[in-house]
Every structure is written in structure tokens, then in C-alpha cells.
Structure 1
């Protein structure tokens, strides 16, 4: 026991680290000898990267052999050898820079909700590029022709198709935002949504997922029109105000659009609020005041009865087996096409390109169209290896609302657990090469 008159004005008992008498504050201070509770550490070396991230696209022959041997999806007995969304994800993960990779991102990419989200984004981007080329041609033809009422009818159909396809993307994106279904453990406030919000961690995950999805869509659409895909993807997720890719490239593509192009490509569900109240175009589509078929909101999740041909097309595109896409006439980029027509990195072989040109010349009237007036020449249709998207028309009869909505779940197609483990193991080897 130290005297109260010791120099420094401090006296007290300190045995085994239990308590201390603080003579200055005249209080008993408890000192715990228990180890501190572990706190979740969020290690973010840099801010979330955006469009400056470059994926490798010059994989040499040795690396292709290594990829085919170790990381390429292996066929099961009796399984058709067609391109699946897993194959495209594998190429994107193999060529991605290490600084954007994380175990969390790999796990998130191998979830049914994310796969539906990616397939819906591929379908929307393919149709967007197709209609952008079509509208560019129509604007050029206005110099020689006169608009008729039929032009408005056709362009309104294009606009409604794009709005419905954006809605398919938005419904899966909404599940990610609220942490529903298999996205619960990825919510920024934890699975129970009661933790403190991890905003930095959430921002990094979102940015890397968005950049990865842009790469996947670009690969699935035959490596064409990367800038258009990236600009439009960032616009629908972030709005024009927060489109960082547009701020970097400064293309001004929206301002350079003609009025007719803007109406069709951007839709009429845009809201120009103050920056703090701005919603992304995807969320605007969800809350838009227009006739929306409520059954679209549950495609791939809830079993819908008495589906129209249009809904059946969308269901197969988003959640159907890739082996049946070609048989049903559903186009989702190169998904469902024979893998033998492509090389290891999913580049079309020359023979496949020639066959594709021959088949499309007889079925498509605008396969050699030009790009939008704002983006200059495009290569979306010049060497396109997949046919155009032809959506069935909407039903003309009024939509019937049943007394109760269906609640029987759809059979969810699982993701490849084998591939997920392969990419997790590869990431661990890249991050810890000397272990």
C-alpha cells in the first residue's frame, strides 16, 4: 500500500491488475485482466476503385492451358457443353486484378440472386445496344423521310421493352439492397440488420461488384462496345449526377442524343430531384406510375401461373437452364451457345463468326447498323456472334389481379459450389504466396 503523501499525488493498491485507488479523482477504477473483445476489422487499403480498374485480356497460351486445367468448369456426365453464366464469371475472375478481389465478392458472385441479376443485366444491355443502333439509324433517316404516327407506336414499344428489362434488373438489385433471401449475410448492417452500418465496406463491395458485372456483361456480349455498356450500367445504378465513368470520360452522350433517342433509351420514369433525394433509374422503374405486370416482380423466385409468352421469355432468360435457351429462341448474349464454337477465353472461333454472319443476314435486317449519334461508330452488330433479342409483345387485354398473390416458391437453380471453392483457394494463394 502506497502512502497518500507519495510524490505525484497518487496512492492506491494494484495487485493482480484488479483495481486502483485514484487519489486525484477520489474514485475506485476497475482494471480488467480479461482479453479485449475482438472487434471486426475493416481493412480498406484504398477507396473503392471505379472505371480505372483494368482487367487482363491478353492471356497467353500457357495461362490458358493452366486455366483450362485448374479453373474451367468441368462437365458432368450427360451435361450439354454450352456456355453458362458460370463460364463467363470464371473468365472475369481469372482476369480480374487482385486489388479488387475479396472472399466476400467471390461468395456473392456465387449466389442464385446474383446470377439472376447478372443474366438480367446481360439481357438488358444486349437489347439496349440493339435499340441504340436502331434509333441512330432512324435519326439519320429523318433527314430524308418524314415521321408518321407509326414511328411513335414503334418507338413506344422500344421504350416499354427497355423499361421492363430494367425492371428485371431492379427487382434483383432490390433484394441486394434490403438483404433479402440469400443476400442476408451481405447486408451492411449484418444478417439481423442491427449492427452499426459499415458504409465503407458496403461501398467497396458495391463498386467492385458493379465493375465485375460490367466485365461479365462485356464478355457475354462478345467483347463489343465496352464504353457504352459501362456508361449505361453506371447510369442506371447511380443516375446521371453520380455517374463517375461519364465524369471521367466526358463523352456527353446523353446531351448529344436527339429528343427521340432520349425518350426511348432513357424512358419516362426519370425524376430530377435534388442531389440528396436522387434515386437511381432502377429504383425509379420500381416506383414508376405506369402499367406494370406485377408477375414480373417474382420471376425466378415465385411460381407464376398462366404466364404469357413475354413473361415466359423473361423467365427463361433470367432463371432458366442455359441448355434450353437456344431451343426456346431466348437470346442472352452468348449464353446457351455451344462452347466448342469459342476458345478457352470465350472468343468466337473464325468458323463460328462466319456461320453467325450467314444466319443473321437472313433473319436480321439491320445487322450492319451504325451506333448512336453520340457515341460514334459502334461494333455491337458488325461482328455480333449472337442474334438480336426479339421480345414477345405485351398482352393487349387488361391485367387481372387475383384475390391472393401466389406464394409457392420457384425451384431455385443452385450455383456451382466447386467453382466457388476453386476461386477462393486461388485468391488465398495470390494474397499469401509464401504460405
Structure 2
């Protein structure tokens, strides 16, 4: 392996595998830079090969060049941007186009990925529940189902459909080309002609990247379940691959997981499951379509729970005792590729009484109230006065160019380029900058410090109802005002 001059950046992740060496009768560690074509090196998603792991050389380049800066908000916790950057670093080189990289940094795509993570968190719990019930209903010791059990399943299925509706709401903004998605719309504005081939590859690439992001966020578990459901959501069951690794579901299990709105027709007239959810929205579920846009005012507890999960930033989920995979966990508990560092977890002394990140406690399905559906129909909604503003870390063209030139940057450092640590950067800055503007340095310092402080910024009463005020709150994702 070529040597990289970065003394203060020791590798955190040893990429490779242990095997038994018969010659010396002991364990031998084989690193992944000796296994370029091995199956342990790559994982295939929708026909594209993503890196499953990285070697030490690639790790040091990623940590110094591509990882999220320490000056960003909540840099010590894992957020969606950290997972996205890791997937962008590990995705195939044919994905590295300016259009696709810019698309992945757009706020609308960020909101869609956020909704997908919330949906799959609940979906994997439901799949586990289905598999447990399958074992309980089979064999000589099969249990008898009661009407209360069936009602509980209907509530679970309705809750899952509500999360699916939230994903569909965010996806519709993208496919309709609204807001910042207008330049990615599949038809040209004047001639109204669709670029079918380009749009097809663009859609396939996004599905592959979204699958990887959700899979890594969910602790890299149930990969084939995530891949199958992701393709079903965005395509429909007509276009699912027939793979032996995919889960085989009975009609009863399908009705529980896919909901009452799922309809199978001829493939020429088939709509995706997300569009079907938006076509059949119950009256009590209508406020879900405004989650993240307006502050909900009403006494429906279920709507309030969904809104709380959605608008609370990923870095603060432990404050409401909610787990969305690895989001909000301290980075010190994870290595470079966001795998749990179990020695660090053991030294953290987590227990069932003290486990804010759901590492010891596993997320579980809350047994619902049997009268929950009836109570929701009796709930009242009131006029909404408050709008929700989202604040995202801005990106510039320099950042996008860096991702497009990812392979060139990696090849440069691997061929002898020097990675600068903090001491080398300071020395180089002192040499290059003979005259330094002190007020400018101080203003930059306060700009950086302000990102770490949560401020309420009063914006005024323009275009607001009488008596209403609007505030912006610093953070990572969604914030109510």
C-alpha cells in the first residue's frame, strides 16, 4: 500500500477479514486492498456495484477531503448528510455527474430521504412482527387469533400507510418538478419532450443510492427486505425482480404490510403504491399532507406523533425518545463507514435504564388502543396559524465539483499526493498570507460560532395571521416556527 503523509490522522477502521492460516496455525488478517475483486469488497444494488467497505488509504482520503466539516451544525452526531456523503463516496463512478450530485444535495431530496428512513424504521418492525406471527400460527402449538388481534393488525397497517403517505407527499414534489426540482423535471419546458433514456438511468441511480442510504441508516440490517420494498414503492410489484433472497409473503401478510389501498391491475394501467395512497386519503389523515409545512393544531394524538417524528431534527431524536436507525447517535460510537464500534459502546455503559439511542433497547411496536381508530374519527382539527421553516447547510459549486472529481482526487492522493493535517495547513497559510485582515478573521470566527448556538431569529409579522409571529430555529432538518 502506498504511504500517505498524514501523521495526525490514524485510521479508525480496519478493512478486511480474519481467516485461519494453516501454515502458522493462527489467525491472519487480510486487508481489502488485497481483495479488489472479492465479494467482500462490493455489494450489488439494482445492478450497480457499491463499495461495501474501504481500505485504510481510502478512509484517510475520505475523512480529510469528503467528510462533513467540523464547523457544521451538530458535527459530533450522525445525521442524514453524513450517511449521504458516505454513500456518495462508495457509489459507482458512473453516478458522478454534476446533475445527479446536485440533485442529491437539494432540500426536497433531503426531505424525501428523511421520510423514507421514518417509513422503513416502522416497516422493518412490521416485517419482524409478521414473521413472528407466522411462526406462532404454524405447527402443532398454533395459537388462535381473536378479533382483538385482527383489530390490532388493522391499526398497524393503517399506521404504516400513514408513513407511506408522508413519503408519497414528498416524492410528488419531485416528480411534478415543483420548487427547486424544476430543473430536474423530465420534460423540456418549451418543446415538452421527455428524455426517456436519461430519465430512466437517473431514476435507477436514485433508487440505488436511496436503498444504500436507508440500509446504512438501519444499521445495515435486512438488506434484501429494504431493496424489495424500495423497488415496490417506486415501481410496483410488476417490475420486481424474482430473487431467491426476497421475502415470500402470503396474501394475508401482503394485505397487512401493503395496506388496503394497494391494488394490482394490468401493468399498463398500474400506479405505484405511493400514488395509490394519495388517491385514497381518509378525512382524519388529511393533516398528514401538511406535516412539515404547517404546525398541526388539533387533538388527534396520532397526527401529533407523526409530526413530532418528522420535524424534530435527527440530532435531537433522543430528546423525544425516538429512534430512527443511527440518526442522532454520537459519532464516537461509530467508525468511518458508520458501523458500530462495540468497544466504544461497552465503555459508554449503556443499560436498559440509560439507553437514549436504542442500542441496548431494540425499537419495538407499541400495542395500540383498540378504540384508537374510533377516537381518531372523533378528533377535531383547528385552523393552522404557524408555518414551518427548514434550515439546511448550504452547498456551493465547489462542493459539487469536488464530488464529481472524486476519482481524480483519490487517484491523486494514492499516487503520492500529500494529505495536509492541521499543522501543515497552518504553516502553509502563514507562508501564503503575508497580510491578514484581523476584522475579517474575527467576523469569520463569529459566523462559525453562531452555527453551534441555537438562535431564535424574529422575522416579522408579514403575511401572517393577526397575532401570529414567525421564528426560525437553527438546526439540521425541520424546525417549527
1:342 shift after superposition: 0.5
Determine the C-alpha separation between the residues in 2 that align with 1:277 and 1:168: 23
Who is 2:286 aligned against? 294
Q: Distance in 2 between matches of 1:138 and 1:362?
A: 30
Q: Equivalent of 2:211, from 189, 205, 214? A: 214
Structure with bigger gyration radius: 1
Alpha carbons 1:123, 1:331 under 8 Å: kept: no
Match of 2:403 in 1: 426
Distance (whole Å) between structure 1 residues aligned to residue 368 and residue 180 of structure 2 = 31
Structure 2 partner of 1:10: none
Q: 1:149 to 1:266 in 2, by over 3 A?
A: same
Question: Residues 32-431 of structure 1: matches in 2 within 5 Å?
Answer: 51-76=46-71, 79=74, 81-143=76-138, 144=141, 145-190=143-188, 192=189, 195-243=192-240, 246-247=241-242, 249-250=243-244, 253=247, 256-288=248-280, 290-306=282-298, 308-351=300-343, 359=351, 387-388=363-364, 396-400=376-380, 406=384, 409-417=387-395, 421-428=398-405, 430=407
The range that moved more, 311-320 or 110-119, is 311-320
Give the Cα separation in 2 of the matches to 1:161 and 1:301: 20
CA distance in 2, matches of 1:69, 1:224: 28
Alpha-carbon distance change, 241 to 78 in structure 1, aligned in 2, over 3 angstroms: closer
Task: Give, in angstroms, the shift of residue 284 of structure 1.
Answer: 0.7
- Equivalenced residue count is 359
Unaligned runs of 5+ in 1: 1-48, 364-380
State whether residues 168 and 274 of structure 2, in contact with CA within 8 Å, keep that contact through their aligned partners in structure 1: yes
Q: 1:78 to 1:101 in 2, by over 3 A?
A: closer
- CA–CA distance in structure 2, aligned partners of residues 283 and 156 of structure 1: 21
* 3-state DSSP of counterpart to 2:238: coil
Offset at 1:172? 0.6
When residues 258 and 361 of structure 1 are mapped into structure 2, their CA distance, relative to the original with a 3 A threshold, is farther
- Mapped partners of 1:160, 1:73: distance in 2: 38
1:293-332 Cα deviation digits (max 9, x unpaired): 2111121123433474433443343343222211112221
Deviation at 1:178, TM superposition (A): 0.7
Query: What CA distance in whole angstroms lies between the structure 1 residues aligned with 2:73 and 2:195?
Result: 45
Deviations 1:382-415 (A, max 9, x none): x98863465987653524466xx75864202224
Secondary structure of 1:396's aligned partner: helix
Structure with the higher fraction of residues in strand conformation: 2
Deviates more, 1:199-208 or 1:345-354: 345-354
CA contact (8 A) 2:296 2:304 kept: no
Alignment CA distance shift 1:325-1:258 (3 Å):
same
Inter-CA distance 396–312: structure 2 relative to 1 (3 Å threshold): closer
TM-score, with length taken from structure 2: 0.67
With the length of structure 1 as denominator, give the TM-score of the two structures. 0.74
Q: Aligned equivalents of 2:129 and 2:244: distance in 1?
A: 24
Take 1:78 and 1:298, find their aligned partners in 2: how far apart are those partners?
26
Q: Is the 8 A contact 1:316 1:325 kept in 2?
A: no
Unaligned runs of 5+ in 2: 1-43, 413-481
- Distance (Å, rounded) in 2 between the aligned partners of 1:79 and 1:164: 30
Structure 1 residues 261 and 213: alpha-carbon distance in aligned structure 2, compared to 1, 3 A threshold: same
Identify if the C-alpha distance between structure 1 residues 107 and 131 changes in structure 2 by more than 3 Å, giving closer, same or farther. same
Contact 2:211 2:230 in 1 (8 A): yes
CA RMSD in angstroms, aligned pairs only: 3.2
